[in-house]
Amino acid sequence: MVNDFLKKYQEELISEKIQLKEDMDLLETKIKEEKKFLNVLEESNESYFVEFTPRDINAKNNEKAAEIRQILSELESQMSNKTKQMKFYDSRLVELNALINNTAVINRPSDTNNNQTTINDSIDDNFKNQLVSIKDIIVLDPYRAKIELEKLISTL
């Protein structure tokens, strides 16, 4: 019962981690786009006549560049927050894997060879079922499939 709860919580954390990874990827692309746009604005501001004119040549570009810098700082702070969340999820998943493995070991009957072969058969069946489920999700969600494989490897 506790083991089922831990597995359910682990699945929730994995799905949240996947969503967070997607958000981080979107943030990374947005940061890259904003940096490229800022570079374009700064290159357009480089004029050879700046020293000879009494006015600000590209005032609108300078204002836009300042806005882009502010947006970039906000995006980078969001990225650092999401990175902290990712580390939190990683640590929780490691803890859950350890707890699940410990409860699985505690709940296993032992001593007789007959029980041991039955356990090995059920472990093999469980192993096969997990591999089949990973095979089914690998096309739809390769990141989750990777996490599931890592979880499966850690249980071996």
Angle between the N-to-C axes of helices 2-45 and 59-107, in degrees from 0 to 180, rounded to the nearest 10: 160
The overall average pLDDT reported for the chain is: 78
Q: Would you say 9 and 89 are in contact if contact means Cβ atoms under 8 Å apart?
A: no
Q: Would you say 134 and 152 are in contact if contact means Cβ atoms under 8 Å apart?
A: yes
- 121 pLDDT exceeds 60? no
Distances, alpha carbon 99 to alpha carbons 4, 83, 103, 145, 154, in Å = 11, 24, 6, 21, 12
Give residue 110's pLDDT: 47
Model pTM score: 0.56
Tokens of 52: 């000879």
Domain ranges for the chain, please list them: 2-107, 112-156
- When mean pLDDT is compared over 1-5, 49-53, 56-60, 84-88, the highest value belongs to 84-88
Q: What is the mean pLDDT of residues 105-132?
A: 57
pLDDT digits (tens, 9 = 90+) for 36-81: 998 888 877 666 555 666 556 667 778 888 899 999 999 999 999 9
Give residue 108's pLDDT: 46
Give residue 70's pLDDT: 94
User: What is the CATH topology of the domain spanning 2-107?
Assistant: Helix Hairpins (1.10.287)
Give dist(CA 150, CA 129) in Å, integer: 15
- When mean pLDDT is compared over 37-51, 88-102, 116-130, the highest value belongs to 88-102
- 29 pLDDT exceeds 50? yes
